[in-house]
Each structure stands twice: as C-alpha cells, then as structure tokens.
C-alpha cells in the first residue's frame, strides 16, 4: 500500500519472486502528476549485506526533487555472481513494462548505486543486452539513459587484492572484505570477468551512457591506486580515463568523506539525473 510522506508517495511492490522468496521494490514518487523519470537504486554491502532500506534517504531526496526512485532487493551473498545482475536487469525491464501503472516515463530510466551497488549499476548499464543477465523472461530491453555511482567498487579483483594487502599490513579498515568477495564471487576469475574497469581495458563492446562518480576523500576503501595498473592514477581517475577513451562522458565529483551520505552527495546526484533524464 502507498504511504504519503510530505510531497512524495512511497509504495512497496513485489517485483520478482524466486520460488517462495519475494524480491521487493520500494518506489518513491513525487506527489505531482507524471509521468516521472525514474532511477533504479542499488544498495551496497560488498555484494553480501544490506537491503533496500539503506536507499531510503536518497529515494526520498530524489522524489522530493521530482524524480522517482525505485530501490530494490536482489539476490546477493552466497547466491553468487551473476544473480544480482539477473535480478537488476529484470528490474529495469519491469519498470519499463509497468511504467504506465505507476505514472513513470519508460523512456527516462537511470540507475544508481552505492559501493558494490555502484559496481552493479555500472555493469548493468554497460551490458544491458548480456544474455546471462537477461535470462529471466520479460519483454523489453534493459538499457538505461545514465548511471550515477557513489564511491563504487568498480574493480572487484583490484579491491580484493587491495584488501588482502591491507590485511597483511594490519589495517583495521579491511575487516572481512576479502571473505565477502569470496562468498559472492567464488573465484578471482569471476572478479576479473564481472569487472567494469577491466571490461573497458579489454576493449569489450559496451554501452557507455553519461555517468557520474561521487567520491568521498579520504577513502582508502574506494579511492586508491592499483599497483597492477599501468596508469599512475587512483581507481576513480583510471576508470574515467578508460570510460572517456571508449566514448563515454563521465564526471568525478569529490566530496568530504566525513559527511558523504547526506546532502553533499544527494545534491550532485540529483542534479546529474535532472540533466540526463
């Protein structure tokens, strides 16, 4: 049932079911009449933790600014790669197929995600027609108009090795990051294949819609130099250089890491989607 919150409407919807396990979507919509552009929002958690509730503040902010947001749960953790991409690809097509019912514009769909969700957002945007990701039947395509990422784990194998080096040094930030990578990805080969950074460097044929990378500083977890890279750049600049080389338009916006989850990140993301949707 929809819930009215100030000038927005919030509706929880079962968009997909695997056996007896429902997957939910929380749809945040402006109260004004549409059809509204809509942004699919993917939570982080190193491909293992969290759920759609962690997208609440961003969804409310976007909807109050006139842009609908659809935060979703998807398979992750021990379900393994590429189950998340399968569910997300389906969710893009579901939004297009059901746009009229929810006063959305099927031609104006973007995607966003935080941390590992940013990785999933970019991989979805780059590979909308990948047969592995589009295996669930539903008419339509999974292309998106633009992708906005907040401190994404853009290069899973690089971050895995980065965390293992940090652990060897006794760095507290590492926690159980390597184990979470192992649980979801299973193999280092999978971390290398399902990898937006390396897909660009391999010269794959990819979609490169307009993109934004929001990055807090300092942030050793997401903003570091990969010693295996031939480029003397931290991961955000390395990705941006590769993306532009492939013909894409991308901007990096740096903010203070201390308050990165609030308006300092919501405002640039909202401006980006207003421009591109």
Helix 56-64 to helix 263-276 angle (10° resolution) is 50
Instruction: Give the whole-angstrom CA distance, residue 107 versus residue 263.
Output: 27
H/E run at residue 49: none
Instruction: Give the whole-angstrom CA distance, residue 56 versus residue 71.
Output: 8
What pLDDT does residue 6 have? Answer: 56
Q: Which of 13-27, 93-107, 121-135, 263-277 has the lowest mean pLDDT?
A: 263-277
What pLDDT does residue 157 have? Answer: 98
Which segments within the chain are labelled E, that is strand? 3-5, 8-18, 21-30, 36-42, 68-72, 104-114, 147-150, 211-217, 250-256
Average pLDDT of span 191-213: 98
- pLDDT > 70 fraction of the chain, expressed in percent and rounded: 97
What is the average pLDDT score of the chain?
94
On the question of a cis peptide bond just before residue 224, with omega within 30 degrees of 0, the verdict is no
95, 128 Cβ separation under 8 angstroms = no
Q: Is the pLDDT score of 2 beyond 50?
A: no
Higher-confidence position of 216 and 71: 71
Confidence of residue 16 (pLDDT cuts 50, 70, 90): very high
Strand partners, 152: none
Average pLDDT of span 38-52: 96
Average pLDDT of span 171-180: 95
Average pLDDT of span 209-223: 93
Query: Which DSSP string corresponds to 240-277?
Result: HHHHHHTT--EEEEEEEGGGTTSHHHHHHHHHHHHHH-
Q: What count of other Cβ atoms lies within 10 Å of the Cβ of residue 245?
A: 12
- Please provide residue 113's backbone torsions phi and psi, each rounded to the nearest 5 degrees: -170, 155
Per residue in 221-271, pLDDT (tens digit) is 899 999 999 889 999 999 999 999 999 999 999 988 877 777 777 898 999
| 71-to-64, 141, 267 alpha-carbon distances in Å | 15, 19, 18
- pLDDT > 90 fraction of the chain, expressed in percent and rounded: 88
Domains of the chain: 3-276 (3.40.50.1820)
What pLDDT does residue 174 have? Answer: 95
Instruction: Give the whole-angstrom CA distance, residue 78 versus residue 20.
Output: 17
| Cα Rg of the chain, angstroms | 18
What pLDDT does residue 11 have? Answer: 94
Q: Is the pLDDT score of 131 beyond 90?
A: yes
Per residue in 63-117, pLDDT (tens digit) is 999 999 999 999 999 999 999 999 999 999 999 999 999 999 999 999 999 999 9
What pLDDT does residue 262 have? Answer: 72
Q: Tell which residue, 73, 57, 69, has the closest CA to residue 28.
A: 69
Higher-confidence position of 256 and 37: 37
Q: Is the pLDDT score of 56 beyond 60?
A: yes
Average pLDDT of span 143-159: 97
- The pTM of this model reads 0.94
Average pLDDT of span 2-10: 67
């Amino acid at each position: 049932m929809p819930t009215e919150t100030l000038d927005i409407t919030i509706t929880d919807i079962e968009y997909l079911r695997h056996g007896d396990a429902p997957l939910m979507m929380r749809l945040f919509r402006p109260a004004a009449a549409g059809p509204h552009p809509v942004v699919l929002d993917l939570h982080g958690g190193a491909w293992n933790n969290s759920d759609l509730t962690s997208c609440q503040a961003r969804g409310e902010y976007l909807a109050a600014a006139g842009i609908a947001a659809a935060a979703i749960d998807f398979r992750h953790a021990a379900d393994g790669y590429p189950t998340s991409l399968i569910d997300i690809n389906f969710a893009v097509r579901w939004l297009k197929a059901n746009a009229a019912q929810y006063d959305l514009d099927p031609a104006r769909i973007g995607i966003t995600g935080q941390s590992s969700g940013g990785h999933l957002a970019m991989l979805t945007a780059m590979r909308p027609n990948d047969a592995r990701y589009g295996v669930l039947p539903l008419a339509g395509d999974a292309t998106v108009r633009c992708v906005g990422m907040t401190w994404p784990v853009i290069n899973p194998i690089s971050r895995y090795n980065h965390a293992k080096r940090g652990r060897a040094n006794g760095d507290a930030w590492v926690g159980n990051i390597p184990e979470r990578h192992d649980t979801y990805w299973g193999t280092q080969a999978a971390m290398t294949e399902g990898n937006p950074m390396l897909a660009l460097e391999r010269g794959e044929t990819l979609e490169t819609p307009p993109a934004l990378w929001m990055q807090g500083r300092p942030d050793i977890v997401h903003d570091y130099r990969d010693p295996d890279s031939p480029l003397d750049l931290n991961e955000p600049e390395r990705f941006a250089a590769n993306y532009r080389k492939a013909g894409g338009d991308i901007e990096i916006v740096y903010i203070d890491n201390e308050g990165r989850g609030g308006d300092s990140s919501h405002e640039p993301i909202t401006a980006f989607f207003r421009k591109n949707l």
